[in-house]
Amino acid sequence: MEITARRIGDAVRGATVESAAAPGMNVLKTYDPPLGELAGRTVTGVRRRGKHLIVDFDGLSLLLHLMSAGRLQLYDKRAGPRDRTSRILVRLADGRELRLREFGTKQRAWAKLLPTDEVEQDEAIATLGPEAWPDPPPAALLSGAARPLHSLLRDQHVLAGVGRSWADEILHAAELSPFKRGSDLTPAEADTLAETIPAVLGDALEHYERTVSLPIPDKLPMPLTVHRHEGEDCPRCGTALERVWFEDYVIAYCPACQTDGRVLKDRRLSRLLK
Ligand SMILES: [Zn+2]
């Protein structure tokens, strides 16, 4: 999200909006002010909060959550009538078009048009925890909860901006089990984890700075070493990375570096057997 905000923000800052439309049913969760209010305004920037993108138009802001299948992209030309993926179109006076697109059949991405000074009070933003990057979160935030670290890191109310992929990478880098409870962390482990979170995300961002340019690819070249690498060698110790399945996702980890050699039970199966 951060690299998308930077790249698109740099490209559209200062552009004037000609018109805006929401062809996607139900994507826009607000009706006042109407999307038409964007016409004639200047794009002042694109920023990120947690996993949300915010496009600012002097005085109004589009708050976007792309969910898993949405993308914010900038095109040199306007969408044709056959375009079925665009949920929001912001046409710029210079001929370019900013599109919120969503792939697949589930329409889960959403947008809200809000006065800019109300964005921080919006429920989606006001309930976010502190940003996971660039500053380390307070260690007490992590050690204060009796929950498995993997679920804790992904909880946007605890910490904003970490998803499943990066939770795997962060816990591997910190050499901590995904199932260790926050409250079982030693003070030193909690400090290490707090420092590791922005370090891993900062490295990823540096990678994106080097590799991503407009147009933003549909699939970002994520510099992952653990997530989706199960069966391959741990980059630190060479042990084969393991995975544990949940209902709809997979956690990857190194048994040697993270779980004292223990291979974790498949949670999906054990739940089925209960
Ligand atoms: Zn290892």
Distance from Cα 123 to the centre of ligand 1, integer Å: 40
Q: Work out the pLDDT band at 132, boundaries 50, 70, 90.
A: very high
CA of 262 to the centre of ligand 1 (A): 12
Question: How far, in Å, is the centroid of ligand 1 from the Cα of 53?
Answer: 35
**What is the Å distance from ligand 1's center to 146 Cα?**
25
pLDDT attached to residue 272: 53
Predicted confidence (pLDDT) per residue in 24-65, tens digit: 778 999 999 999 999 999 999 999 999 999 999 999 999 999
- Distance in Å, CA 10 to ligand 1 centroid: 39
How far does residue 25's CA lie from ligand 1's centre (Å)? 47
Distance 225 CA to ligand 1 centre (A): 11
The 10s digit of each residue's pLDDT in 71-104 is 999 999 988 878 888 999 999 999 999 999 998 8
Share of the chain above pLDDT 90, in %: 82
Can you tell me the distance from the alpha carbon of 87 to that of 71, in angstroms, rounded to the nearest whole number?
10
Q: In the prediction, which pLDDT does 23 show?
A: 87
Mean pLDDT for all residues in the chain: 93
Q: Does the pLDDT value for residue 268 go beyond 70?
A: no
Distance 170 CA to ligand 1 centre (A): 13
Q: How does pLDDT run across 172-220, given as a tens digit for each residue?
A: 999 999 999 999 999 999 999 999 999 999 999 999 999 999 988 888 8
Q: Is the pLDDT of residue 170 over 60?
A: yes
Distance in Å, CA 237 to ligand 1 centroid: 4
Tell me, in angstroms, the distance from the centre of ligand 1 to residue 144's CA.
Answer: 27
Q: How confident is the model at residue 266, as a pLDDT?
A: 73
Segment 222-232, tens digit of pLDDT: 899 999 999 99
Distance 241 CA to ligand 1 centre (A): 7
Asked whether the beta carbons of 167 and 154 are under 8 A apart, the reply is yes
28 CA → ligand 1 middle, Å: 45
- pLDDT band at 18; cut points 50, 70, 90: very high
Cα 178 to ligand 1 centroid, rounded to whole Å: 14
**pLDDT at 106 (0 to 100):** 81
* pLDDT for residue 175: 98
Mean pLDDT of 238-243: 96
Between residues 220 and 161, the one the model is more confident about? 161
Residue 270 has pLDDT above 70, yes or no: no
The predicted pLDDT at position 274 comes to: 47
